[in-house]
Amino acid sequence: MKVSVTVNGSPVTAEVPDRTLLVHFVREEAGLTATNVGCDTSSCGACTVLLDGQSVKSCTVLAAQADGRAVTTVEGLAGPDGELHPVQRAFRQEHGLQCGFCTPGMVMAAVSLLAENPVPTEDEVRLGLEGNLCRCTGYHNIVRAILAASEEGAAGALTAIGAVHEEQVS
C-alpha cells in the first residue's frame, strides 16, 4: 500500500507491503537510521519515536497506522542550524550515554516525558523510562541528563517542534 508519513517535518511517501513496521519505514524508506531495532519485541525502547508527539515503540506500530501522521525521530530534534535540542545537549553534558545504542530511544522517551511532565521529580523520570533499557546500565547519568534538560526548559522546545509538524500536516 501507499504510505505517506511526515517524518521530521518532511513528507515521505512510499509503496510498501502492508506488513511493514514503522521502524523499517523510518530506516529504509525515510533513510533515517538513528532509530535502532533492539529487542524487536516492544521491550527495550531502542526504537522509540514520537507519533503525533507521543512516544511509541516503532517496532510495534505498522507503517500503515502512521499513514498521514507526523513522526519525529532523534534526527529531527536539532534546529535547522544544527543546534542541539536541550535534551540532546543535556545527554552530552551529563554523559548520559555509554555505548550509545539505546540513546536515540532514550532521548525520544525523554522528550515525550518532558512534554507531558515538564518538571518531573527524579522518581517520575525513572518511572517514565520504564520502557527503555540501557544495556550498559548507565541509568544514573541518563536520569541526571533529563533532570538537567527539565531545568533548561526542554518542554518548550518540544512544543515548538510539535507546532511545526501540525502546520505541515494540516
Partner 1 sequence: MIPAAFSYKRAGSVGEALDLVAEHGEDAKFLAGGHSLLPLMKLRLAVPEVLVDIGRLGELSYVRADNGDIAVGALTSYHDLAGSSLLARELPLLACAASQVGDPQVRHRGTIGGSLAHADPAADLPAVILALDAVLVARGPSGVREIAAADFFVGLFESALEPGELLTEIRIPRPAAAGWSFQKFTKRAIDWAIVGVAVTGSRVALVNMGQQPVRASAVEQALAAGAAPRDAAALAADGTSPPDDLNGDARYRAHLARVLTARALAEAAARG
20 binds partner 1 (CB under 8 A): yes
Question: Please, what is the minimum distance in Å from the beta carbon of residue 48 to partner 1?
Answer: 6
**Is residue 41 a contact point for partner 1 (CB under 8 A)?**
yes
Q: Pick one of 48, 103, 141, 150: the residue that binds partner 1 (CB under 8 A).
A: 48
Do 77 and 111 contact (CB within 8 A), yes or no? yes
What's the Cα-to-Cα distance from 20 to each of 32, 132, 149, rounded to whole Å? Answer: 16, 23, 34
Residue 19 vs 80, nearer CB to partner 1: 19
The correct pick among 30, 87, 109, 157 for binding partner 1 (CB under 8 A) is 109
What stretch of H or E contains 169?
A: helix 154-169
Q: How far is the CB of 39 from partner 1 (least distance, A)?
A: 10
Residue 21 and residue 59: Cα distance in Å, rounded?
A: 6
The minimum distance between CB 32 and partner 1, in angstroms, equals: 18
The CA distance from 83 to 80, in Å, is 7
Nearer to partner 1, 40 or 75 (CB): 40
Distance (Å, whole) CA 56 – CA 137: 22
For the bound state, the minimum distance from the C-beta of residue 109 to partner 1, rounded and expressed in Å, comes to 7
Cβ burial of 93 (10 Å; 0-12, 13-18, 19+) is middle
Binding positions for partner 1, rule: CB under 8 A:
1, 17-21, 24, 40-43, 45, 48, 51, 54-57, 60-62, 64-65, 67, 109, 112-113, 127-128, 130-132
